[in-house]
Amino acid sequence: MQPGNSQATGSGTSGQTKVLKSVCRSCHGGCGALLHVRDGELIKVEGDPDSPLNHGRLCPIGTVTRDLVYHPDRLKYPLRRIGPRGSGKWERISWDQALDQISAKLLAIRAEFGAEAIALGTGTGRHHIRWVSRFGHALGTPNWCEPGFAQCFHPRVNTSILTFGDFPVCDFTGEVPPKCILYWGHNPINSGPDGETRFNVWEALAHNPRIIVVDPRETELAKRAEVWLQLRPGTDDALGLAMLNVIIGEKLYDEPFVRQWTHGFDALAECVARYTPEWAEPITWVPADKIRAAARLFAQTKPAMLEWGCAIEHTPNCIQTIRALSMLPALTGNVDVPGGWVFGMKGLGRFPSLIEKLSPEANAKRLGADRFKLLGGEGADLPACHIPTLLDAMLTGKPYPVKAFLVFGNNTLTTYANTSHVYEALNKLDFMVCADLFMTPTAELADIVLPAASWPELNQLAGLPTVAANVVLAQQQAVRIGECKADEEIFVELARRMKLDSCTESVEEVLDAQLASGSVGLTFAQLKEKGFHQIPFTYRKYEAAGFRTPTGKIELYSTRFEQMGYAPLPYYEEPPESPISTPEVAADYPLVLTTGQRIPYFFNSEHRQLARLRKARPEPLVEIHPETAAQYGIANGDWMWVETRRGRMKQKAKLTEGIDRRVIAAEHGWWFPDEPAPDYGVWRSNANLLTDNQPPYDPAMGTYQLRALLCRVAKADGR
Ligand X SMILES: Nc1nc2c(c(=O)[nH]1)N[C@H]1C(S)=C(S)[C@@H](COP(=O)(O)OP(=O)(O)OC[C@H]3O[C@@H](n4cnc5c(=O)[nH]c(N)nc54)[C@H](O)[C@@H]3O)O[C@H]1N2
- Give the interface with Mo ion as residue ranges (CB under 5 A): 124, 148, 152, 310
Cα 33 from Cα 23, distance rounded (Å) = 5
Taking CB under 6 A as the rule, does residue 458 contact ligand SF4?
no
* 305 vs 310 by CB, closer to Mo ion: 310
The smaller minimum CB distance to ligand SF4, of residues 58 and 472, is found at: 58
Nearest to 236 by CA among 186, 173, 178: 186
Question: Could you tell me whether strands 448-451 and 79-81 are parallel, antiparallel, or unpaired per DSSP bridges?
Answer: antiparallel
SS3 349: coil
Output 125 or 388, the one with its CB closest to ligand SF4.
125
In contact, 295 and 305? CB cutoff 8 Å? no
Binding residues vs ligand X (CB under 6 A): 27-28, 123-124, 126, 147-148, 151-152, 184-188, 190-192, 194, 214-217, 219, 231, 233-234, 236, 309-311, 314, 408-411, 414-415, 435-438, 440, 452, 487, 594-600, 602-606, 665, 668-669, 687-688, 691, 706-708
Q: Please identify, using beta-carbon distances, which residue of 166 and 194 lies nearer to ligand SF4.
A: 194
409 binds, among ligand X, ligand SF4, Mo ion, none (CB under 5 to 8 A by kind): ligand X
Q: Spell 340-364 as b/e; 16+ CB within 10 A means b.
A: bbbbbbbbbbebbbbeebbeeebee
Nearer of residues 149 and 697 to Mo ion, judged by Cβ: 149
**Among ligand SF4, ligand X, Mo ion, none, residue 74 binds (CB under 5-8 Å by kind):** none
The span from the CA of 620 to the CA of 637, in Å, is: 10
**Rounded CA gap, 222 and 501, in Å?**
54
703, interface contact from ligand SF4, ligand X, Mo ion, none, CB < 5-8 Å by kind? none
- How far is Cα 9 from Cα 192, in angstroms, rounded to an integer? 31
Residue 84, CB half-sphere, CA atoms under 13 Å: how many?
2
Of the residues 30, 40, 165, 178, which one makes contact with ligand SF4 according to CB under 6 A? 30
Binding partner selected for residue 281 from ligand SF4, Mo ion, ligand X, none, CB under the kind-specific 5 to 8 Å limit: none
Q: Which is nearer to ligand X, 136 or 188 (CB)?
A: 188
Of the residues 8, 20, 21, 24, which one makes contact with ligand SF4 according to CB under 6 A: 24
Those residues with Cβ within 8 angstroms of residue 499's Cβ, 6 or more apart along the chain or in another chain = none
Please name which of 420, 409, 375, 364 lies closest in space to residue 679, comparing C-alpha atoms.
420
Question: Does residue 240 bind ligand SF4 (CB under 6 A)?
Answer: no
* C-beta of 415 vs 454, nearer to Mo ion: 415
Q: Which does 414 bind (CB under 5 to 8 A by kind): ligand X, ligand SF4, Mo ion, none?
A: ligand X
Q: How far is the CB of 451 from ligand X (least distance, A)?
A: 9
**Residue 613 sits in the site that holds ligand SF4 (CB under 6 A):** no
**Residues found in the chain:** 719
Size of the site for ligand SF4 (CB under 6 A): 13
**Interaction between residue 45 and ligand SF4 (CB under 6 A):** no
Minimum CB–partner distance for residue 23 and ligand SF4 (Å): 7
Q: Which of 8, 20, 27, 324 binds ligand SF4 (CB under 6 A)?
A: 27
* Separation of alpha carbons 248 and 110, rounded Å: 56
* Inter-residue contact 341 to 171 (CB < 8 Å): yes
625 contact, one of ligand SF4, Mo ion, ligand X, none, CB 5-8 Å limit per kind = none
Residue 713 has phi, psi (to 5 degrees) of: -130, 160
> Contact with ligand SF4 (CB under 6 A): which of 6, 22, 26, 133?
26
Q: Which does 133 bind (CB under 5 to 8 A by kind): ligand SF4, ligand X, Mo ion, none?
A: none
Concatenating the DSSP letter of every residue in 655-668 gives E-TTB-TTEEEE--
Q: Which is nearer to ligand SF4, 487 or 698 (CB)?
A: 487
Residue number with CB closer to ligand SF4 (27 or 591): 27
In whole angstroms, how close is the CB of 522 to ligand X at the nearest point?
A: 24
161 vs 310, beta carbon nearer Mo ion: 310
- Residue 58 contact partner, candidates ligand X, ligand SF4, Mo ion, none, CB within 5 to 8 A by sort of partner: ligand SF4
The binder of 421, among ligand X, Mo ion, ligand SF4, none, by C-beta within 5 to 8 A per type, is: none
State yes or no: residue 29 binds ligand SF4 (CB under 6 A): yes
| Exposure letters 453-463 (e unless 16+ CB within 10 A, then b) | bbbbbbbbbbb
Instruction: For the CB of residue 30, give the shortest distance to ligand SF4 in the complex, in Å.
Output: 5
Q: Which does 8 bind (CB under 5 to 8 A by kind): Mo ion, ligand X, ligand SF4, none?
A: none
Q: Is 682 helix (H, G, I), strand (E, B) or coil?
A: coil
Is 531 among the residues that bind ligand SF4 (CB under 6 A)?
no
Q: Tell me the three-class secondary structure of 70-132, residue by residue.
A: CCCCCCCCCEEECCCCCCCCEEECCHHHHHHHHHHHHHHHHHHHCHHHEEEEECCCCCCHHHH
Cα–Cα distances in Å, from 25 out to 139, 282, 395? 27, 42, 34
**Looking at beta carbons, which residue is closest to Mo ion?**
152
* Sequence-ordered list of residues with C-beta below 8 angstroms from that of 407, at least 6 positions apart, any chain: 120, 121, 122, 432, 433, 434, 435, 436, 442, 443, 446
The DSSP bridge partners found for residue 593 are 664, 709
Question: Which of 191/411 has CB closer to ligand SF4?
Answer: 191
Distance CA 688, CA 605 (A): 11
Give the per-residue contact string, 59-78, with ligand SF4 (x = CB under 6 A; - = no): x-xx----------------
CA distances from 432 to 114, 403, 446, 469 (A): 17, 9, 5, 35
Could you give the string, one character per residue 181-200, with x where binding to ligand SF4 holds by CB under 6 A and - elsewhere? -----------x----xx--
d(CA 599, CA 620) in angstroms, rounded, equals: 10
604 binds, among Mo ion, ligand X, ligand SF4, none (CB under 5 to 8 A by kind): ligand X
Residue 58, interface with ligand SF4 (CB under 6 A)?
Answer: yes
Q: Which residues bind ligand SF4 (CB under 6 A)?
A: 24, 26-27, 29-31, 58-59, 61-62, 192, 197-198
